[in-house]
């Protein structure tokens, strides 16, 4: 069977899988950002309890395997009375896992804002909440975006793991086609190509654009 | 910025629909109009999904014949990793395991099985001409060959029972992994079901061949049942009653399962019951 025949027979299936991969990615990306922000801020709280919760969360999710977390969300949570659909379980595990890494990036980003900015806000009599939301946070984006971009590309590829908890994504379809036709080179080759195209020609340009926008907003453009 | 987080939250809220685990039994849920969910892995020709998720393979063919006998026409399918089938049904992700599971003691502890739907043997898959002359577990031990089989397969326990040391075993994910390992030369011999090995022989156009299943230890003959949750005893008994009818006049069933290679030789002898397999296997 030549490659064109393979594509005409299985292309649509792979395409449907790709759509699911994109959905999983978009949802887990949002969850990842929200969690990074919340727990990054909590890590810097002066309240020991809040800081402790954030530390425990980050240590736990960074310290255990994403695959095991996925299996937990899918196979074990129902025993505690919570039954998430495979799709939601996948998004939850991905978001929580990557959010733990992202929270540390956010924390580092906040600490990297020059001391003078904090002092200026203080001198202008800003409340701590206003200082954070109006002065500090807007300035962290140019700092955190490169590492966040890295994590985001990583997240796109990590979505492949949800295939193991019965989410019918690109990897699932590629494995399925492979196990019935045994055309490993074609099925996994095509999947690799699709992942690469998504990362290289859609995600990376988008993240680059975000970096440029973020830099321009704080007056760091043109470099 | 704030707007972004609002949009993100709304989107996520729409994704997470938490449903609490249903306490009703399968019989009650079917009466309420829920669809029966068949869970299986990808193991040609036992059970696998077609392009649109339809249930193919002879175990599915038999199960569907029995379900029709019970008057259940509609079903959904769910494809699992082989090792996810039992966790899946117990986590209420499926209602019936039609993957073609051997009835084994360790599995009986976690799920209930229907009466046997067939009797099957294992065989070894070796390179053409069987250069190392391996036909059973003892030959594997004697030649020091690397033996590959699938995670969660009955053959893992069998190989251990006959004394194959861990260092000689390679465990991979599913039938696909087995053939991939053989093709890549990571193992000298594979042990799997006779049907699975036959499929591999045909798919590789004679690169590998199947050993004579009669040369395997006799005790490795196994019966296959359909798996049910322990709490669905009522449904299992109804299924068994319908299964008995199908087995009594098996022509329709044999016609449907026959195209996947299942024939009269696989009809289970009355001596091999589920209770017997659960107690001794």
Is the model's pLDDT at A108 over the cut of 90? yes
Q: Which CATH class is domain A3-217?
A: mainly alpha
The predicted pLDDT at position B1 comes to 65
Residue B67: CB atoms within 10 A of its CB come to 21
Q: Which long-range contacts (CB under 8 A, 24 or more apart) does A64-73 make?
A: A66/A93, A66/A94, A66/A97, A66/A158, A66/A161, A67/A161, A67/A164, A69/A93, A69/A96, A69/A97, A70/A94, A70/A161, A70/A162, A70/A164, A70/A165, A71/A164, A71/A165, A71/B87, A73/A165
Write the ipTM.
Answer: 0.72
Give the H or E element holding residue B225: strand B222-228
Is the model's pLDDT at A222 over the cut of 60? no
Reported confidence tier of residue B146, pLDDT bands at 50, 70, 90: very high
Nearest-Cα residue of chain A relative to residue B93: A75
Interface of B with A (CB under 8 A): 1, 5, 8-9, 11-12, 15-21, 42, 44, 48-49, 51, 78-81, 84, 87-88, 91-93, 174-176, 179-180, 203
Residue A205: CB atoms within 10 A of its CB come to 10
Nearest-Cα residue of chain B relative to residue A73: B91
The predicted pLDDT at position B20 comes to 57
The predicted pLDDT at position B19 comes to 62
Q: Give dist(CA A210, CA A143) in Å, integer.
A: 12
The predicted pLDDT at position B219 comes to 81
Q: Give dist(CA B101, CA A93) in Å, integer.
A: 30
Backbone angles phi, psi at B96, to 5 degrees: -140, 140
- Contact present, A95 and A36 (Cβ < 8 Å): no
**pLDDT tens string B168-211:** 999 998 888 899 899 888 999 999 999 889 989 988 888 999 99
Is the model's pLDDT at B27 over the cut of 80? yes
Does the distance separating the beta carbons of A83 and B19 come in below 8 Å?
yes
Residue A154: CB atoms within 10 A of its CB come to 12
Number of A to B CB contacts under 8 A, please give it: 89
Minimal CA separation from A215 to chain B, in Å:
15
Cβ contacts of A168 on chain B, cutoff 8 Å: 79
Tokens of A114: 């020059």
The predicted pLDDT at position A152 comes to 97
The predicted pLDDT at position B21 comes to 58
Give the mean pLDDT of chain B. Answer: 91
Does the distance separating the beta carbons of B1 and A138 come in below 8 Å?
yes
- Contact present, A70 and A164 (Cβ < 8 Å): yes
Cβ contacts of A84 on chain B, cutoff 8 Å: 16, 18
Q: Give dist(CA B180, CA A180) in Å, integer.
A: 13
Q: Which residue matches tokens 């695959």?
A: A67
**pLDDT tens string A116-157:** 999 999 999 999 999 999 999 999 999 999 999 999 999 999
Q: Which of B10-24, B37-51, B106-120 has the lowest mean pLDDT?
A: B10-24
Q: Which residue matches tokens 């938490």?
A: B18
**pLDDT tens string B117-134:** 999 999 999 999 999 999
Is the model's pLDDT at B2 over the cut of 60? yes
Which residue spans within A73-178 are E strands per DSSP? 82-83
pLDDT (average), residues B63-71: 96
Compute CA distances B133 → A115, B106, B139, whole Å: 76, 32, 8
**pLDDT tens string A58-80:** 999 999 999 999 999 999 998 88
Cβ contacts of B151 on chain A, cutoff 8 Å: none
Model confidence, pTM = 0.82
Q: Which of A5-14, A147-156, B261-270 has the lowest mean pLDDT?
A: B261-270
Minimal CA separation from B216 to chain A, in Å:
27
**pLDDT tens string A163-220:** 999 899 999 999 988 888 878 889 999 999 999 999 999 999 999 999 999 888 887 7
Instruction: Give me the DSSP letters along B32-67.
Output: TTPPEEEEE--BTTTBEE-TTS-EESHHHHHHHHHH
Cβ contacts of B19 on chain A, cutoff 8 Å: 83, 85
The predicted pLDDT at position A184 comes to 85
Q: Give dist(CA A148, CA A7) in Å, integer.
A: 35
Classified as helix, coil or strand, B185 is: coil
Q: Give dist(CA A182, CA B200) in Å, integer.
A: 10
Tokens of B213: 């299943």
Minimal CA separation from A180 to chain B, in Å:
7
Reported confidence tier of residue A83, pLDDT bands at 50, 70, 90: confident
Residue B95: CB atoms within 10 A of its CB come to 23
The predicted pLDDT at position B281 comes to 82
pLDDT (average), residues B216-224: 88
Reported confidence tier of residue B218, pLDDT bands at 50, 70, 90: confident
Cβ contacts of A34 on chain B, cutoff 8 Å: 5, 8-9, 12
pLDDT (average), residues B244-265: 92
Tokens of B193: 């079901």
Q: In what order do the strands lie in the sheet with B189-193?
A: B169-172, B147-150, B189-193, B122-127, B208-210
The predicted pLDDT at position A60 comes to 96
Select from B5, B18, B79 the Cβ nearest to the Cβ of A84: B18
Minimal CA separation from A78 to chain B, in Å:
5
Reported confidence tier of residue B162, pLDDT bands at 50, 70, 90: very high
- Identify the structural domains of chain B with CATH numbers, from first to last: 24-119+222-273 (3.40.190.10), 122-220 (3.40.190.10)
Determine what percent of chain A falls in helix, strand and coil, rounding each to the nearest 5.
85, 0, 15
Q: Which residues pair with B77 in a beta bridge?
A: B38
The predicted pLDDT at position B174 comes to 85
């Amino acid at each position: 069977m030549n490659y064109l025949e393979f594509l005409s027979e299985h292309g649509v299936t792979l395409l449907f899988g790709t759509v699911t991969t994109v959905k999983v990615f978009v949802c887990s990306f949002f969850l990842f950002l929200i969690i990074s922000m919340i727990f990054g801020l909590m890590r810097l709280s002066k309240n020991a309890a809040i800081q402790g919760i954030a530390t425990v969360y980050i240590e736990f999710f960074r310290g255990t395997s994403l695959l095991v977390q996925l299996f937990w969300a899918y196979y074990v949570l129902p025993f505690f009375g919570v039954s998430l659909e495979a799709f939601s379980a996948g998004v939850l595990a991905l978001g929580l896992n990557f959010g733990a890494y992202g929270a540390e990036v956010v924390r580092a980003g906040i600490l990297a804002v020059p001391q003078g900015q904090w002092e200026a806000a203080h001198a202008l009599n800003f409340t701590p909440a206003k200082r954070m939301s109006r002065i500090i946070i807007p300035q962290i984006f140019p700092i955190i975006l490169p590492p966040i971009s890295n994590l985001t590309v990583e997240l796109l590829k990590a979505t492949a793991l949800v295939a193991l908890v019965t989410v019918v994504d690109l990897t699932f379809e590629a494995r399925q086609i492979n196990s019935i036709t045994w055309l490993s080179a074609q099925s996994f080759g095509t999947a690799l190509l699709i992942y690469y195209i998504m990362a290289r020609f859609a995600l990376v340009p988008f993240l680059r654009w975000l970096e440029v926008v973020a830099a321009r907003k704080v007056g760091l453009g043109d470099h | 910025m704030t707007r972004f987080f609002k949009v993100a939250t709304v989107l996520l809220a729409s994704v997470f629909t938490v449903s609490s685990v249903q306490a009703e039994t399968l019989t009650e849920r079917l009466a309420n109009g829920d669809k029966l969910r068949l869970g299986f892995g990808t193991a040609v020709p036992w059970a696998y999904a077609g392009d649109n998720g339809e249930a193919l393979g002879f175990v599915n063919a038999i199960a569907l014949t029995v379900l029709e006998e019970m008057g259940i026409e509609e079903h959904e399918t769910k494809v699992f990793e082989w090792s996810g089938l039992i966790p899946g049904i117990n986590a209420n992700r499926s209602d019936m395991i039609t993957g073609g599971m051997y009835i084994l003691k360790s599995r009986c502890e976690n799920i209930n099985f229907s009466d046997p739907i067939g009797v099957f043997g294992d065989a070894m898959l070796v390179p053409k001409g069987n250069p190392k002359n391996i036909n059973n577990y003892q030959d594997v031990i004697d030649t020091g060959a690397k033996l590959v089989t699938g995670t969660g397969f009955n053959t893992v326990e069998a190989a251990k029972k006959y004394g194959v040391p861990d260092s000689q075993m390679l465990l991979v994910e599913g039938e696909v992994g087995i053939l991939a390992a053989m093709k890549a030369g990571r193992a000298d011999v594979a042990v799997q079901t006779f049907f699975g090995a036959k499929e591999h022989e045909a798919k590789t156009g004679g690169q590998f061949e199947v050993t004579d299943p009669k040369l395997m230890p006799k005790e490795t003959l196994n019966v296959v049942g359909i798996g049910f949750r322990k709490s669905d005893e009522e449904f299992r008994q109804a299924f068994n009653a319908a299964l008995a009818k199908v087995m009594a006049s098996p022509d329709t069933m044999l016609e449907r399962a026959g195209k996947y290679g299942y024939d009269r030789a696989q009809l289970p002898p009355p001596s091999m019951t589920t209770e017997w397999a659960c107690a001794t296997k």
